[in-house]
Amino acid sequence: MPDGGRTEFPFELTDLHSGKRTRPLPADCSAYSVRFGPGERLIVFEERVVRVLDMSSGKQLSKVEKSPDTDELITSADATTAVEVFRIGIRVRIVHRDLSTGRRVGSWAFQFDDPTTLSESRTGLPWLSPDGRYFVFSLPRAHEIYRNAYQSGILHTRTGRLISSWLDDSYCSCATLSPDGRAFCTRADREINIREVATGRLRQRIPAARGLSALGFSADGRLLAVATRPRPIEVYDLYAEYSRGSWDPAKRDQHWATLAQPDAVAAFAIIGHLRANPMEAVAFLRQQMKMPTGPSRIGW
């Protein structure tokens, strides 16, 4: 037992193909979680420190320490970005760090346009996209008419620019981002919400039981895997209901008008129909998205 009564646990890596154990990694930390990163890196989470270790040598490549007044210290899945989150009343301030070096990249503070109804209780989520590009968080509403409501937002991690926001009856949790970065999926109360990153508008709702523990998109963004304790993992085809029926050329103007409307649910239905009919979709888009002609020689 080291000073302070903290128990230290050594790490051992096991090759799943051969079953052989590699040499243990240094036991100078008390981790509560570990995660494999790209390029033979291991991300080690302690109570107030995040370390990046080289798996082949056990050498520490970098570390980020949590400041005394930090509410949360979160990292991206690709081991490139770390963010310290500070809640200051109804404002959120973050310090952006390069996780590969531990160095500070920048900082910014954010406040929603209408802060009068926000509570000063703890920030919900917060969450970083796998590549560290997006920062997501939720703030509870305090006003009586907004009881059990949360204001959520997606911001650009490096600049703090607000990309989209929305009001919901539960805070964002168990979040995941589609591979193309256009859809954001979160757990809400007894359902899964899929929203557009660009607008924050709700695209789809999927009923879900309590105990949901993980969400994940397939590489092409078509399938969504949902893990709910103690039930088996379920896989949903997000485009299945839009794949029925053939393309109707007579409705092309109607489809184009729908895509221009702010209704994300209706627009996503048209996109799903286009995906199910790729040949007709190419002809449709070529007709609707005509390239402007250049100036003629006479016009010069």
- 84-to-95, 136, 148, 158, 208 alpha-carbon distances in Å: 5, 13, 27, 13, 31
Instruction: Answer yes or no: are the C-beta atoms of 214 and 227 closer than 8 Å.
Output: yes
Question: Residue 1 pLDDT more than 60?
Answer: no
Give the per-residue pLDDT at 119: 61
What pLDDT score does 108 carry?
Answer: 92
pLDDT at 116: 56
Tell me the average pLDDT across 124-135. Answer: 85
Residues 208 and 281 in one domain: no
CA distance 186 to 174: 6
pLDDT at 7: 47
Segment 17-46 shows an average pLDDT of: 74
Distance CA 174, CA 188 (A): 9
Which alpha helices (DSSP H) does the chain contain, by range?
252-259, 264-276, 278-288
The pLDDT value recorded for residue 147 is 59
The tokens for 208 are: 């879900």
Tell me which residue of 281, 289, 288 sits closest to 239, measured CA to CA: 281
| 151 inside domain | yes
Q: Confirm if 105 and 132 have CB atoms less than 8 A apart.
A: no
* Residue 299 placed within a domain: no
Q: Which residue has the higher pLDDT, 121 or 89?
A: 89
Any domain includes 192: yes
Give the pLDDT score at 83. Answer: 92
CATH no. for residue 36? 2.40.10
Domain coverage including residue 185: 175-238
Mark whether 80 and 105 lie in a shared domain: yes
Distance CA 88, CA 77 (A): 27
**CA–CA separation, 206 vs 238, rounded Å?**
10
Residue 224: per-residue pLDDT: 92
**Residue with the larger pLDDT of the pair 113 and 280:** 280
Same domain for 182 and 270, yes or no, is no
Q: Do both 263 and 216 map to the same domain?
A: no
Candidates 195, 186, 185; CA nearest to 164 is 195
pLDDT in the model for residue 271? 85
* Structural domains counted in the chain: 4
Residue 297 included in any domain: no
SS3 274: helix
State the Cα–Cα distance between residues 230 and 92, nearest whole angstrom.
36
Same domain, 119 and 180: no
The more confidently predicted of residues 91 and 105 is: 105
| Residue 91, pLDDT score | 80
Residue 51 has pLDDT above 90, yes or no: no
Position 9 pLDDT exceeds 60: no
Q: Final residue of a domain: which of 155, 171, 187?
A: 171
Q: What percent of the chain has pLDDT over 90?
A: 14
